[in-house]
């Protein structure tokens, strides 16, 4: 009997220990399990993938595809093919889509003219379908031609698996009179979560002013004389909205919903001084808040499952030997280097430096003159599970922190 009681105590202690461990692990795992068809969490600056789930499957993305349309419009503004105050007249076909309550409608009126700026803002704040269609022809082209521009832009920025049907994100058959021939009525824009990340990084790098638009909680649009529509931003994670995340300031970016795509959401915000990007594709369409809940879980994983680690060059890497100069070495600097590591990972990533061959002599020394701020080469960060959204290594730039003047032969001999 005593032996039996002893074993019961031992078994009870083991079960209690296991239960505690399961609770801890469950808390960490729950933060990382995203209930959607695909999801990603990425550092916008470095491209480091912090979390990914089914990142490479091509999926319908609904109105998230308006980000690609925005890239094309921004390009045409930058190249002076369009300007923000240019007026676009609305035809009956566009008005029919814009006034349909079954779509993301803002009520653009046939015969009325709106500026490119107003249409662009309506496309991003309200996700207005009619505004996206109007922008497709703002440059005098056709919807088919604009689709070709979107596909070309996708290839240019490195998107691997993109299907472009229109600038809106609707099924082809939902465009009414603007339905494109020789394309199935159920055809819909699609891309992978990885492609969405690459697209978003490109947009934030080249056109960061887009955040001035996507961060607005609401905006007024003048539809006709004396008729103003106040449109709420469809992003429910902005400051003051229902799904804010503590310690994270979200200022963009785009929602999307369709029967095939489910509920989708791309967010961007800052945490610990870093800009992050999240992608959730195929969340529960029947629950309007589910895509934001899944995004919250990504940010919760960021706060509890990983930590930000700052890296520095070692003593040997922080200087470069110099030949034929007034200094035997110059100090090497980089921008601040930071990587995200799982809290259970304790191995420090390694830094490898690579100097430009044109700056080196046969002994591997830098050759003077060297100017302060001059780019000397680059480096890579290698570590367990470190990867980027575009599968490229994490890189950084090496530059000189000092001037190194070149000396003549007799000066060097004297020294």
Tell me which residues are annotated as active site. Answer: 63, 66, 127
The residues that bridge with 319 in the sheet, in sequence order, are: 331
Region of 176 on the Ramachandran plot (φ > 0 left; ψ -120 to 50 alpha; else beta) = left
How many angstroms separate the CA atoms of 115 and 120, rounded?
9
Spatial separation of the C-alpha atoms in residues 228 and 120, rounded to whole Å: 17
193 near 279, Cβ under 8 Å?
yes
Q: Which of 330, 337, 342 is nearest to 384 (CA)?
A: 342
Q: What is the DSSP string of 242-306?
A: TT--TT-EEEEEEEEEETTTEEEEEEEEEETTEEEEEEEEEE-TTSTTHHHHHHHHHHHHHHHTE
Q: How far are the Cα atoms of 221, 242, 252 from residue 125, in angstroms, in the given order?
A: 11, 17, 9
> Rounded to an integer, what distance in angstroms lies between the CA atom of residue 25 and that of residue 344?
11
Which residues have CB under 8 Å from 70's CB, separation 6+? Answer: 120, 123, 124, 203, 207, 210
Q: Is residue 203 classed as helix, strand or coil in its secondary structure?
A: helix
Distance CA 132, CA 121 (A): 10
Of the candidates 32, 44, 27, the residue with the CA atom closest to the CA atom of residue 297:
32
CB atoms within 10 A of CB 22: 11
What whole-number distance in Å separates Cα of residue 311 and Cα of residue 401?
18
Of 257, 220, 199, 255, nearest to 69 by C-alpha is 199
Task: Answer positive or negative: Cα dihedral of 113, 171, 70, 154.
Answer: negative
DSSP tag of 153: H
3-state SS class at 64? helix
């Amino acid at each position: 009997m005593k032996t039996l009681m002893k074993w019961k105590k031992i078994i009870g202690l083991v079960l209690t220990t296991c239960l505690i461990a399961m609770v801890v692990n469950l808390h960490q795992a729950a933060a990382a399990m995203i209930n959607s068809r695909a999801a990603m969490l990425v550092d916008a600056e470095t491209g480091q993938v912090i979390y990914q789930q089914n990142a490479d499957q091509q999926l319908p993305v609904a109105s998230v595809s308006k980000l690609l349309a925005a890239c094309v419009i921004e390009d045409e503004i930058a190249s002076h093919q369009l300007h923000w105050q240019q007026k676009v007249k609305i035809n009956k076909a566009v008005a029919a889509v814009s006034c349909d309550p079954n779509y993301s409608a803002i009520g653009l009126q046939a015969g009325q003219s709106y500026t490119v700026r107003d249409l662009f803002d309506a496309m991003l704040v309200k996700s207005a379908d009619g505004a996206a269609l109007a922008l497709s022809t703002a440059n005098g082209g056709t919807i088919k031609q604009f689709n070709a521009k979107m596909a070309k832009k996708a290839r240019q920025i490195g998107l691997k698996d993109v299907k472009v049907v229109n600038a809106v994100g609707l099924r082809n058959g939902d465009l009414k009179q603007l339905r494109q021939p020789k394309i199935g009525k159920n055809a819909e824009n699609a891309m992978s979560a990885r492609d969405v990340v690459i697209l978003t990084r490109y947009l934030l790098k080249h056109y960061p002013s887009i955040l001035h638009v996507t961060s607005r909680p609401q905006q007024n649009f003048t539809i006709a004389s004396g008729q103003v529509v106040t449109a709420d931003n469809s992003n429910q994670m902005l400051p003051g909205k229902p799904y804010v995340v503590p310690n994270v300031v979200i200022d963009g970016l785009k929602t999307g919903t369709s029967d095939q795509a489910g509920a989708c959401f791309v967010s961007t915000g800052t945490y610990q001084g870093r800009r992050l990007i999240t992608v959730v594709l195929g969340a529960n369409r029947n629950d309007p808040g589910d895509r934001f809940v899944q995004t919250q879980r990504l940010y919760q994983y960021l706060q509890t499952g990983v930590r930000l680690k700052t890296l520095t060059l070692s003593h040997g890497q922080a200087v470069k030997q110099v030949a034929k100069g007034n200094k035997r070495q110059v100090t090497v600097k980089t921008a601040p280097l930071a990587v995200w590591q799982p809290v259970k990972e304790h191995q420090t990533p390694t830094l490898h430096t690579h100097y430009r061959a044109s700056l080196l002599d046969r002994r591997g020394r830098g050759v003077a003159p060297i100017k302060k701020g001059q780019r000397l080469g680059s480096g890579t960060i290698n570590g367990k599970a470190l990867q980027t959204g575009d599968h490229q290594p994490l890189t950084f730039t090496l530059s000189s922190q000092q001037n190194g003047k070149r000396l003549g032969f007799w000066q060097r001999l004297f020294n």
